[in-house]
Amino acid sequence: MTLRPGHPLNSGASASSAVVRQLRGDQKAARPVWFMRQAGRSLPEYRALRERYAMLESCVTPDIAAEITLQPVRRHGVDAAIFFSDIVVPFLLAGIDVEIQSGVGPVIDQPVRSHRDLDRLRPLEAHSLEPIAEAVSQVVQELGSTPLIAFGGAPFTLASYLIEGGPSKDLAITRAMMSEDRELWDAVLTWCADITAAFISAQVHAGASALQLFDSWAGKLGAQDYVSSAAPHSAALFSQLDDLVDDSGTRVPRIHFGLGTAEFLPEMLAVGADAIGVDATITLAKAHAALGGEVPLQGNIDVGLLDAPWEVLRRHLDDVLESGRVAPGHVLNLSHGVPKDTDPDVLTKIVDYVHEVGS
């Protein structure tokens, strides 16, 4: 199903934005900037809201999710919003008992570790996604020409929470299933791909103009395991988004981002991405070369320098901007999400600087 006539990519509201143009390979556009995890814990206005609403409650309450999504756009003047959510929200919408514990992260009450547990993995029904679509609609109405980026977690990273029952340093249970029971492994990741595809699709149909798939834990795999055990399911997810095209038949730009994945960036592209997010373990110029010189890039300000003296950070920004100039498109971003203790004024200063010099 193509996007509706009034969608921002069809109406002209966002198609000419710097973010969409750069993600589609138009380096002539101004260099845009937004920040992963910009909507959230570094902002005092966000923390004030969270005193009244739990994390997952915030994600599925349209007015609150919309407000949090918009906060960094108002404060920093970033060139894109990213929908405020969490990768485990599709779990919640599909009936999985999940909570986000402070200082821990997502915790699953009953992990999926056997074939018997598969009976609990229900499809994500369309009506369950109505709060997500409503929140996106509210955001898009206020954003105007600023694009919204849809959000979702890659099947491998999502499945690791479902299998482990929460965050894990070594993913021991996940790795055991991957190597010992391929049938169960494929069933779990197929379900994760299906519900995340529905989650992302709902955001895009409601008005998001680009999408980003986060594979936060992919770097815990070697290239061989990624290709054999994770990539096919990310490809299956992306294939379910093939109908997200504008009136000209051009698909909604797709960003794929993982941590510690420098050795298999081409494989991350091959699953169906249009642009690759780059962390701080490799320069943009090296990522550009590894990807064959034809792929728009996103990144890669080192988050460890956000609290450095401004002159140090400014020189780093210049290096990143220069390194990104070689790619056919470049969206400035961080090497990971905004740390919770980041001074919001630093982020605003980065945006102002990029807008001043980042042509």
CATH code, domain carrying 341: 3.20.20.210
Read off the tokens for 307: 């609290």
- For this structure, is 120 an active site residue? no
**231: nearest Cα among 261, 265, 268, 263:** 268
What are 258's strand-pairing partners? 215
Domain that holds residue 211: 8-357
* Active-site position among 21, 37, 113, 254: 37
- For this structure, is 50 an active site residue? yes
Over residues 255-281, mean pLDDT? 97
Q: Which residue has the higher pLDDT, 101 or 269?
A: 269
Residue 3 lies in a domain: no
* Active-site position among 50, 175, 314, 325: 50
One-letter amino acid for residue 225 of the chain: D
- For this structure, is 161 an active site residue? yes
Read off the tokens for 120: 């609990």
Q: pLDDT at position 221, please?
A: 94
- For this structure, is 254 an active site residue? no
Q: pLDDT at position 229, please?
A: 98
Which residue do the tokens 């056919």 mark? 328
Asked if residue 42 lies in contact with residue 342, where contact means CB atoms within 8 angstroms, the answer is yes
Would you put residue 306 in left (φ > 0), alpha (ψ -120 to 50) or beta? alpha
Task: Give me the helices (H) in the chain, please.
Answer: 8-11, 18-23, 44-50, 55-60, 62-76, 89-93, 130-143, 155-164, 172-180, 182-206, 223-225, 231-239, 265-270, 284-290, 310-324, 344-357
- For this structure, is 86 an active site residue? yes
Per residue in 48-102, pLDDT (tens digit) is 999 999 999 999 999 999 999 999 999 999 999 999 999 999 999 999 999 999 8
155 CB neighbour count, 10 Å cutoff: 29
pLDDT of 293 > 80? The answer is: yes
Q: pLDDT at position 330, please?
A: 98
Q: pLDDT at position 359, please?
A: 66
- pLDDT above 90 covers what percent of the chain? 96
* Active-site position among 161, 194, 226, 274: 161
Residue 1 lies in a domain: no
**354: nearest Cα among 318, 312, 308, 323:** 318
202 CB neighbour count, 10 Å cutoff: 22
- What are the distances in angstroms from CA 171 to CA 113, 187, 188, 223, 302? 13, 18, 15, 16, 26
Over residues 15-28, mean pLDDT? 96
Pairing of strands 254-258, 330-331: unpaired
Domain count for the chain: 1
Over residues 317-337, mean pLDDT? 97
- Residue 19 CB-half CA count within 13 A: 29
Q: pLDDT at position 52, please?
A: 94
